[in-house]
Structure 1
Amino acid sequence: MNHHTPAPEEFHVADTNGTVFDIVVLGGGSGGYATALRGAELGLSVALVEGGKLGGTCLHNGCIPTKALLHAAEVADSAREGANFGVHTTLDHIDMGGVNKYKENVIARLYKGLQGLIKSRKITVFEGWGKLVAPDAVEVNGERVTGRHIVLGTGSYARSLPGLEIGGNIITSDQALQLDRVPRSVIVLGGGVIGSEFASVWKSFGADVTIIEALPHLVANEDESLSKAFERAFRKRGIAFNLGVRFQGATQTDDGVHVTLEDGKTFDAELLLVAVGRGPNTANLGYEEQGIRIDRGFVLVNERLHTGVGNIYAVGDIVPGLQLAHRGFAQGIFVAEEIAGLNPAPIIESGIPRVTYSEPEIGSVGLTEAKAREVHGTDNVEVLEYNLGGNGKSQILATAGFIKLVRQKDGPVVGVHMIGARVGELIGEGQLIVNWEAYPEDVAALVHAHPTQNEALGEAHLALAGKPLHAHN
């Protein structure tokens, strides 16, 4: 399905007549368009420069399309497992044409809505690849767009490894999202969020999947107990993985790809998905020429997201830290309010929620147990795990998992970590608990609806407060 491309007269002003905008945003992804929308809402004049489609990676090549695939995978699993619930169904086949049409329709609806928002707030959009040419100007299509403030939000790209060329049977998430078939077998290089989500999708669609991860665990940035539970769940699903050994090389064969690890192990599959993270889009954009400090491609900023050069700020994936759309949204809002003089509170990075949308899901916010002991002292941390086996709705959904709470001894909860089907939907309350520095007793006093999985959060806090209901003390 083709996306609607707005006619130039809808957005683009060819002659700005020397206009100096309050904000010029370079990049129309999550961080960039959030800056533009909030800035315009605050009455500032805003120009937005984007060479691709508004919405950036998240809307077109990231969050939205991958989660659409994951939902289709969940539907496939439900059809396959219907007999467990007394509903006898058969799974005929996965029609990737139909799956992709559904995915593209979701993207198109959201894209149209975003275009409408941008237009309604009278944001001037310049369609083309921009470059920073002065502390107060961006050049696009040979035209100089001047702003009192510049916000850099040029996003990220799917990285590869040195010597590993993308093409043919070696793909990144960009190509994986456009596949018109279910591969027979896939090797996933990288066991982080992106690799784990695609591994989950393809296994549900019927492919043989093997993950290769150099670190000791899958989703290694999560609390170790979640990583281990995640590995057990993947093993039970038949997803193979090889941990703790580095990738050495890959060669394309007549019917796929041959992969070698440094310990001599070899693997063969139809496709190799390279999911080793995302790199910042900052090369050849004029940043360093204007004196902006770059480290490993990332733009260095202070806690107020200022680059230290003129009135130039940076947001989103080019700023070191979690590469998440909702972090970009928050940073964009922050910068717009900073420019407008509202003096917003700095964003607390540890309070940003994280979700891995696989089967099972992982939802987390705040400090892991290891990090909490490092920050607060080994003996000054309390931990509690609440098994979802004691939760009625989890039993109905036939999901296993647990909620792990990390608190400062006799103090607030500093980490909420969850694994199980649909636990990502619980992260909203988890982030309120952590960010508002709630004590277990505070949350235990709240009444949680029964039967819901959300109730498990309440039960976990009851237990941590010393008065468990459906759990042993």
Structure 2
Amino acid sequence: MSGLDDTFDVDLIVLGGGSGGYAAALRAAELGMRVAVIEKDKLGGTCLHRGCIPTKALLQTADVVETVRESACFGVQASLDHIDTGAVATYRDGVVNALFRGLSGLVAGRGIELITGTGRLVSPTAVAVTLPDGTQRTVSGAHIVVATGSVPRHIPGISADGQRIVTSDEALTLDAIPRSAIVLGGGAIGCEFATVWHSFGAQVAIVEALPHLVPLEDQAASAALEKAFARQGISLRLGAKVTAATPSAEGVTVTLDDGSTLAADLVLVAIGRAPVTDGIGLDSVGLETDRGYLKVDERCRTSVPTIFAVGDVIPTLQLAHVGFAEGIMVAETLAGLDPAPIDYLGVPRVTYSHPEVASVGMTSAVATERGYEVQDAVYDLAGNGKARILGSTGIVKVVSAKGGPVLGVHMVGKRVGELISEAQLIVNWDARPDEVAQHIHAHPTLSEAVGEAHLALAGKPLHSHS
């Protein structure tokens, strides 16, 4: 941005205070812009209040439950009396509220005006806001960032009632643990809730229309997660489509496309999230969309030059850290800093199930489709000392171009999400397997598994078979 324009109320209006929106606001304010954020709910959006943070808090509780259940394996005799759902909710909400207070302080500390209300685009440089008391206010800005987020998708013909058939929003605030649950969707959201409920003692079945769980991951990772879930007793119906879900006083009956049925106390619809773009005034300013998503260029600029869009409203990875990166990039673009466009293939992905699934870069299938002559190596965590200590099973798979760089790293196991940063550096810096194999990893650590996989791919396996 070449200079401040006093003909506008602010330099940047951010419509939506979720991950992408507040990242854009914070960075823009840091760069000297006058910023207003319009948010109808709470700063932090889905990730902080209904997604990333509260679900991971529940997964931590689930991990503690499993640790107690398995304590005898480690020589400790402990018993699990019961799960206090009220105390679990208090813990979960405490984590969320502490982060919310911190974020609110950051926004206030940088002089950003927070406007509570529902915003609607009325021109390429103005947003009309309906305030909580019903009054209207119009805010003008030299630029606008649309960051209105997403909501859970629904299956046609299956209506979530918030009681027997729920989305992830309602699932987070259940006041009781279901005795049995059917999860429709085997992606990250479905696998994480399946983990929580299974750990809490529920009988869980996952129904996934595609042939594998976490279908965007490498097939080796999907197979490892499926094996782990089956071993735990989580039932899987893969390659099966749901045709109906019928609630009753006793529970819900789900009908599949082969005519078979499943019954449970509760059904979770977890088939992904849809962008919130209806009702925000897109038509009034001529913004182009595709399947509900706003069309943007590599700098997140929409078809209207003064308007940008970030996060779940554009067809990129629906991940909080992607929203952060997009928001920062937009703010720096407006400030004239010429930031590099985001390489979405180099973005790390983590599913926080038990075991976790973490990956970055191309799968073997994608690399082959793109014309690479692929070499890969799979290291079994059975050979890793720290994994044995933790009682973890899983794999690390490295995909590389023959004679060239590492194209992708795919991991399944306890705490592998903490290893993804090293894998991200390897992939994004185009390191070759033999270069990574030279790096010495501390022993005993899970990170050794990354090194071992690269040693194997470099032709000198240590604790793995050639």
TM-score, length-normalised on structure 2? Answer: 0.96
Q: Percent identity?
A: 57
Residue 201 (structure 1) aligned to one of 184, 187, 196: 196
For structure 1, the residue ranges without an aligned partner over 5 or more in a row are 1-16
Q: Secondary structure at the match of 1:235?
A: helix
Name the CA distance, whole Å, in 2 between partners of 1:242 and 1:208: 14
SS of corresponding position for 1:195: helix
Q: Is the 8 A contact 1:223 1:370 kept in 2?
A: yes
The match for 1:126 among 98, 109, 115 is 115
Mapped to 2, the partners of 1:65 and 1:29 lie a distance apart of: 15
Mapped partners of 2:9, 2:406: distance in 1: 47
Residue equivalent to 1:212 = 207
Aligned match of 1:343 = 338
Answer with 120-129 or 445-454: which moved more.
Answer: 445-454
| 2:328 aligns with one of 333, 336, 341 | 333
Q: What CA deviation, in whole Å up to 9, does each residue of 1:142-198 have, x standing for no partner? A: 111111111000000011111211113110000000011110000111111101100
2:177 is matched with 182
Match in the other structure for 1:77: 66
Distance 2:286 2:200 in 1: 49
* Higher deviation after alignment, 463-472 or 149-158: 463-472
Shift of 1:140: 0.7
Match for residue 459 of structure 2 among 448, 451, 466: 466
Letter of the 2:282 partner, please give it. Answer: Y
What secondary structure, in the 3-state scheme, does the structure 1 residue paired with 2:254 have? strand
Alpha-carbon separation, structure 1, partners of 2:220 and 2:452: 19
Q: CA deviation at 1:269?
A: 0.7
1:414-453 pair list within 5 angstroms: 414-453=407-446
Q: Which secondary structure state, in structure 2, belongs to the residue aligned with residue 75 of structure 1?
A: helix
Q: 1:383, 1:465 → 2: CA distance?
A: 10
The answer (yes or no) to whether the contact 1:160–1:274 under 8 Å persists in 2 is: yes
Partner of 1:100: 89
Return the alpha-carbon distance in structure 2 between the equivalents of residues 211 and 169 of structure 1. Answer: 16
SS in 1 for 2:205: strand
* 1:233 counterpart SS class: helix
- Shift in Å at residue 21 of structure 1? 1.2
Match of 2:160 among 145, 156, 166: 166
CA offset digits 1:218-271 (Å, max 9, x no partner): 111110111111111100000001111211111111111111112111111110
* SS class of match (1:376): coil
Partner of 1:6: none
Provide, for residues 40-94 of structure 1, a one-character-per-residue CA deviation record: whole Å limited to 9, x for no partner.
1111111111000000000000000000000100000000010000011111111
What aligned pairs does 1:286-365 form with structure 2 within 5 A after superposition?
Answer: 286-365=281-360
SS of the equivalent of 2:376 reads strand
3-state SS, counterpart of residue 342 of structure 1: coil
Partners of 1:294 and 1:44 in 2: how far apart? 28
SS at match of 2:370: helix
The aligned counterpart of 2:270 is 275
Residues 444, 459 of structure 1: 8 Å contact kept: yes
Q: Distance in 1 between matches of 2:210 and 2:249?
A: 31
Cα displacement (A) at 1:310: 2.6
Q: Tell me what 1:13 maps to.
A: none
Match of residue 225 from structure 2: 230
CA distance in 2, matches of 1:18, 1:374: 52
SS at match of 2:120: strand
Question: Do residues 151 (structure 1) and 145 (structure 2) align?
Answer: yes
Distance across 1 between alignment mates of 2:160 and 2:452? 48
Match of 1:23 in 2: 12
Secondary structure in 2 matching 1:125: strand
State the alpha-carbon separation in 1 of the partners of residues 384 and 94 from structure 2.
36
| Structure 2: runs of 5 or more not aligned | 1-5, 131-135
2:8·2:142 contact (CA, 8 Å) conserved in 1? no
**What does 1:11-90 correspond to in 2, within 5 Å?**
19-90=8-79
Q: Distance in 2 between matches of 1:95 and 1:157?
A: 29
Aligned partners of 1:288 and 1:294 also within 8 Å: no
C-alpha RMSD of the superposition: 1.1
Q: Counterpart in 1 of 2:133? A: none
Q: Report if the CA contact (8 A) 1:169-1:256 is conserved.
A: yes
Secondary structure in structure 1 of the residue aligned to 2:459: coil
Contact kept in structure 1, 2:13 and 2:145, CA below 8 Å? yes
**In structure 1, how many angstroms separate the alpha carbons of the residues matched to 2:388 and 2:377?**
20
2:59 partner letter:
L
Q: Quote the residue 1:285 is aligned against.
A: 280
Contact 2:39–2:118 (8 Å) recurs in 1: yes
Residues 376 and 408 in structure 1, CA contact (< 8 A), matched pair in contact too: no
| Distance of 2:7 and 2:304 partners within structure 1 | 23
| Alignment length (residue pairs) | 455
SS at match of 1:395: helix
Provide the rounded CA distance (Å) in 2 between the counterparts of 1:273 and 1:164. Answer: 11
| Distance of 1:259 and 1:472 partners within structure 2 | 44
Q: Select the residue among 388, 394, 402 that pairs with 2:381.
A: 388
Tell me what 2:238 maps to.
243
Q: Which amino acid aligns with 1:143?
A: R
Partner of 2:257: 262
Shift of 1:469: 2.2
CA distance in structure 2 between the aligned counterparts of 1:458 and 1:231, rounded to whole angstroms? 25
For 1:424, the aligned partner's letter is: G
Cα distance in 2 for partners of 1:288, 1:193 equals 33
SS in structure 2 at match of 1:331? helix
Q: Which TM-score applies when normalising by structure 1?
A: 0.95
What is the DSSP-based 3-state SS (H/G/I as helix, E as strand, rest coil) of the residue aligned with 1:163?
coil
